[in-house]
Amino acid sequence: MSDAFTRAAAALVADPNMGLDAVYLPASGPSIACRVVYSEPVEHAGSLALAKRRMASVPASAVAAPARGDQLRIPSLARPDNLFKVEQVETDPMRAMHDLTLSQAAS
């Protein structure tokens, strides 16, 4: 992992305008306090909105091996449905950041 990319990932989630406090809950093992960048991008086909996805980016230095089925709680989202299930994990080529595709988890 490149130190420059690791530092950039850490700076991104540390920014109070971008990063949110979260708790990563692996299927086994202790929970991990971390910061994430959360987004809900909408996919479009022309002028038609097809689907809204839930995404979170987390530094690899905070969560080393995220996996499908793990959970992520983002308490700073001001709504009751702040527990998500990890559906897909993609790691950037520099191995600095994991992009998590999320679904709503049962509380």
Percentage of the chain with pLDDT > 90? Answer: 57
Q: pTM of the predicted model, to two decimals?
A: 0.84
35-64 pLDDT tens trace: 999 998 777 777 776 667 899 999 999 999
Percentage of the chain with pLDDT > 70? Answer: 93
The residue among 32 and 17 whose pLDDT is bigger is: 32
Q: Is the pLDDT of residue 2 over 70?
A: no
Q: Give me the residue label for tokens 């080529």.
A: 93
Domains of the chain plus CATH, in order, are 3-104 (2.40.10)
Q: How many CA atoms lie within 13 A of 53 on its CB side?
A: 13
pLDDT at 90: 97
DSSP 37-59: EEE--EEEETTEEEEE-EEEEEE
Question: Rounded to 5 degrees, what angle do the CA atoms 100, 104, 106 make?
Answer: 125
62-80 pLDDT tens trace: 999 999 999 999 998 877 7
pLDDT at 36: 96
